[in-house]
Structure 1
Amino acid sequence: MQQLLKQAQKMQQELAKAQQELAEAKVNGTAGGGLVEATVTGSGELVALTIAPAAVDPEDTETLADLILAAVRDATQAAQKMQAERMGPLTQGMGGGIPGLPF
């Protein structure tokens, strides 16, 4: 029983460390050949958005909105992939995942 508790504590520490690393990591997503770039943390928080002046057309704001959405989606997908790669091995021994965590 004591060994099981030690394993659980170790796994909890590893999960906390991985979550902290994900919160600090940043990934980028782009759209429109780099006209719009979104940066999100490994935990999925949008932290930066860069829009090239060439992407701004006052007569066509719909395209700009689409580019922004595409860049954010691209960055979010990269963050989810990073989460799966980092957290997947830690949660496999728990029946495939932990409720409430996105993997």
Structure 2
Amino acid sequence: MFPGGGDMQKLLQQAQQMQADYMQAQQELASSEVTASAGGGLVSATVTGDGELKGVKIDPKAVDPDDVETLEDLVLAAVQAATEDAKRLAEQKMGPLGDALGGLGGGLGLPGM
């Protein structure tokens, strides 16, 4: 027992459960996708919950050979918006687990930490 009545075995079991929850959340994020658009839907980008760009769709109406710069800006805006949405999703799923495991993982030497 630790001073104050703590039980090392119970603490380790809790840490292992938190690690399992964390890994589950990571897997869910990797398989989740968010899509955001720019230019009123002319350009959209899809990003996984863990930040991987999966695709970009461009409406043919957005393609103007004389104004490629606007299309580039729309693509950039769509990718940035999708990436921000993915970050928010990750914070929702991982926030409490990441905070808790960040403080425990290093000290307990748990794998994946």
Q: Provide the TM-score with structure 2 as the length reference.
A: 0.81
Q: Which residue of 2 aligns with 1:14?
A: 21
Aligned equivalents of 1:43, 1:12: Cα separation in 2: 17
Paired amino acid for 2:10: Q
Paired amino acid for 2:51: G
Aligned equivalents of 1:53, 1:12: Cα separation in 2: 46
Deviations 1:46-98 (A, max 9, x none): 001100000000111100000000000000000000001111121333467x8
4+ residue runs over 6 A deviation = none
The equivalent position to 2:86 in structure 1, one of 79, 85, 88, is: 79
Larger Rg, first or second structure (1 or 2): 2
Alignment: residue pair count:
98
Paired residues of 2:18 and 2:101 also in contact (CA < 8 A): no
Report the RMSD for the aligned CA atoms in angstroms: 1.7
Q: Which residue of 2 aligns with 1:55?
A: 62
- The DSSP-based 3-state class of the residue aligned with 1:14 is helix
Q: Provide the TM-score with structure 1 as the length reference.
A: 0.89
Deviations 1:19-65 (A, max 9, x none): 00000000001000000000000001000110000000011110000
**Unmatched tracts of structure 2, length 5 or more:** 1-7, 107-113
Paired amino acid for 1:30: S
Q: Indicate the percent of aligned positions where both proteins have the same amino acid.
A: 56
Report the CA distance shift for 1:56/1:72 in structure 2 as closer, same or farther (over 3 A).
Answer: same
Q: Which residue of 1 aligns with 2:53?
A: 46
